Amino acid sequence: MQRYQNFIGGAWVDPASGAWFESTEPFSGKAWAEIARSNADDAARAVEAAHAAFESQEWSGLTATARGGLLRKLAQLIEANVDLLGTIEQRDNGKLMAEVSGQVKNVAQWFYYYAGLADKIEGAVVPINKADVFNYVKWEPLGVVVAITPWNSPLALTTWKMAPALAAGNTIVIKPSEYTSAGILELARLADQAGFPKGVVNVVTGYGGEVGAPLVTHPLTAKIAFTGGDAGGQAVNEAAAPGLKKVTLELGGKSPNIILDDADLEQAVKGAISGVFGASGQTCMAGSRLLVQRSIHDHFVARLVAATKAAKIGAPSQLDTQVGPVATRAQFEKILRMIEMGKAEGATVACGGHALTGEGYGQGQFIAPTIFTGVSNTMRIAREEVFGPLVCVIPFDTVDEAIAIANDTEFGLAAGVWTRDLHRALYCVDRLRAGTVWVNNYRSTSFMTPFGGYKRSGLGREGGTEAIKEYLQQKSVWISTQPNRANPFVLG
Ligand code: NAD
């Protein structure tokens, strides 16, 4: 079995506790790697290494153009290692190989994008309202950024933080999910090869409470960039508050996908499926509430059930597999509990509603793609994030009713609208309280546009040019052009 140490200050080191835990394959249930079980001592060591690197001339003395060059080199190394990174990620979280390799290529694109942005962050000369003073504004990095990430898309969600944080001149300590650490450690190995100075990129692995929490509260941590559940995000935000640390949070959702009666139904069925059964529903942006106009409801549901039943379910390593296993045993059991909860609340199972075991299903950590009909938006199954292949179909009569149901949630990560009518589409876009709205598509993302949540789905944005400012702070500089002050006792 492969053993993965922590990466701190440019060296591979054992955890202070001397303890390790196993990483297992969701499909087979076999343990394949040993991961360091880190604690507060490792957290302190990593933050101190990152702080020393931040203060060093070797990093802070680099021009922004040179920093961009390092990011570009890392992007090239990622491109050269797509198969290695994709295989590890697929092994760790059971995501489809077909999706993972595309995601890793996309990770390289994120590094290229922020490599290019590194030396285009311009300050300003302010036409200040005072005589004989020159005022300008410059952007500076924050210091040590702690990135805490979940298991569903580990490399992508780490990159969404790491690329802008490094482009801006910060140093970073990454705490990956305890389920998916290996790929992030390989990413650190590539960053080392790319030539980042020692201590600029650090990875400490382990459990949230044991090593994540002390990273958040360490006095030298300047900012926490977190992706995970809303409960974890709230805990991180509260723990960061006494130290007045900056925080960005990318959290969960219960996103509405609205099918209007004039939609292209063939495309809408595909969009509904990719929205919630892609990645076995283990995506923050899952279109887990499917709002269908009553006049087309029965016809649409029949087509959706038929298309869902035809999905090829099985080993994620097979390129033609369409639905893979659930990533963790805890998540598998949670989804089954929520299915039972939906049944008890009176929703109807139109498809799925059970686990899948036997030939072709490995250790049996599969959930049949599940469609609940007859769901009311007040049911818990319609209000709580499942993070699995389960969709709630909710009927509505008018567009305004659809918008009211869509917005009746504590989350606001994303929403979808399916219609051929541009006016109806834009009417919905303007009224949906969500950070991303897709019209006649679902689950598209890019490094070029912001992603983040309204309401309990998060704080701040990732992606796009503005996101780099989440890792920068402004400094206002005043230069007197007049040597003699008239009256030193009066504010000028
Ligand atoms: P999680 O909140 O359980 O864990 C996320 C990370 O936080 C892990 O690395 C974990 O070890 C760490 N952690 C947990 N408690 C901590 C604490 N007190 N202090 C510091 N770190 C702590 O989430 P998960 O189960 O790994 O991932 C699934 C969740 O992530 C879902 O709710 C999903 O919606 C969300 N998610 C959001 C986005 C987004 O961009 N909005 C993307 C993917 C996943």
**Is the domain of 280 the same as that of 160?**
no
Whether 284 is a known active-site residue: answer: yes
Q: Are residues 245 and 279 in the same domain?
A: no
In the predicted model, is pLDDT for residue 490 greater than 80? Answer: no
> What is the tens place of the pLDDT at every residue in 463-475?
999 999 999 999 9
Dump pLDDT digits (tens) for 228-253. Answer: 999 999 999 999 999 999 999 999 99
Residue 110 belongs to a domain with what CATH number?
Answer: 3.40.605.10
Determine if ligand 1 sits within 6 Å of the CB of residue 470. Answer: no
- The answer to whether 325 and 365 are in contact (CB under 8 A) is yes
H runs (alpha helix) in 359-451 = 380-383, 399-407, 422-431
> Domain for residue 485, yes or no?
no
**Rounded Cα–Cα distance for residues 451 and 39 (Å):** 32
The whole-number pLDDT of residue 487 equals 75
CATH code of residue 386: 3.40.309.10
Establish whether residue 374 lines the binding site of ligand 1, counting it when its CB lies within 6 angstroms of any ligand atom: no
Q: Which residue's CA is the nearest one to ligand 1's atom 16?
A: 208
Active-site entry in 25, 48, 250, 385: 250
Task: Considering only residues 484 and 94, tell me which one the structure prediction assigns the higher pLDDT.
Answer: 94
Residue 288 in contact with ligand 1 by CB distance below 6 A: no
**Ligand 1 and 450: CB distance under 6 A:** no
pLDDT of residue 492: 62
Beta strand extents in 354-460 (DSSP E only): 355-356, 366-367, 370-373, 390-396, 414-418, 436-439, 458-459
DSSP H helices, 247-359, are 265-276, 297-309, 329-344
pLDDT tens per residue across span 325-363: 999 999 999 999 999 999 999 999 999 999 999 999 999
Closest by CA position to 182, among listed 9, 7, 330, 28: 7
Q: How far apart are CA 390 and CA 384, in angstroms?
A: 12
**Cβ contacts of 20 within 8 Å, gap of 6 or more:** 3, 34, 35, 36, 37
- Is position 360 within any domain? yes
DSSP 409: S
Banded model confidence at residue 295, pLDDT cuts 50, 70, 90 = very high
- Please give the structure tokens belonging to residue 130: 């005072």
H/E segment holding residue 89: helix 82-93
Question: Domain for residue 451, yes or no?
Answer: no
- Strands ordered across the beta sheet of 133-141: 124-126, 133-141, 472-480
Both 315 and 353 in a single domain?
Answer: yes
Cβ of 175 less than 6 Å from ligand 1: yes
Asked if residue 269 and residue 143 are part of one domain, the reply reads no
Asked whether residue 107 falls in the same domain as residue 17, the answer is: yes
The mean pLDDT of the chain is 96
Q: Is the CB of 229 under 6 A from ligand 1?
A: yes
**Same domain assignment for residues 233 and 277:** no
Whole-number Å distance, alpha carbon 213 to ligand 1 midpoint, is 12
Q: Which domain holds residue 388?
A: 256-439
pLDDT at site 446: 97
491 domain residue, yes or no: no
Nearest ligand 1 atom to the CA of 153 is 43
**Cα-to-centroid distance, 233 and ligand 1 (Å):** 7
**Contacts made by residues 306-312, CB under 8 angstroms, sequence distance 24+:** 307/269, 307/270, 307/273, 308/273, 308/277, 308/351, 308/352, 308/369, 308/371, 309/351, 311/273, 311/277, 311/369
Q: Got the DSSP string for 240-267?
A: HTTTT-EEEEE-----EEEE-TTS-HHH
pLDDT band for position 101 (cuts 50, 70, 90): confident
Whether residues 327 and 287 share a domain: the answer is: yes
Domain count, the chain: 2
**What average pLDDT does this structure show over 66-70?**
98
**487 is a domain residue:** no
Reported as a single tens digit per residue, the pLDDT across 176-191 is 999 999 999 999 999 9
- The answer to whether residues 385 and 464 belong to one domain is no
Element (H, E) at 44: helix 40-55
For 367-411, what is each residue's pLDDT tens digit?
999 999 999 999 999 999 999 999 999 999 999 999 999 999 999
Residue 250 annotated to the active site: yes
Nearest CA to ligand 1 atom 11: 208
The reported pLDDT for the residue numbered 488 is 73
Query: pLDDT grade, residue 485 (50/70/90)?
Result: low
> Are 395 and 283 members of one domain?
yes
- Check whether residue 25 and residue 174 sit in a common domain: yes
Q: pLDDT for 106-131, tens place per residue?
A: 999 999 999 999 999 999 999 999 98
Same-domain check for residues 242 and 278: no
pTM of the model: 0.96
Query: Considering the domain boundaries, does residue 120 fall inside one?
Result: yes
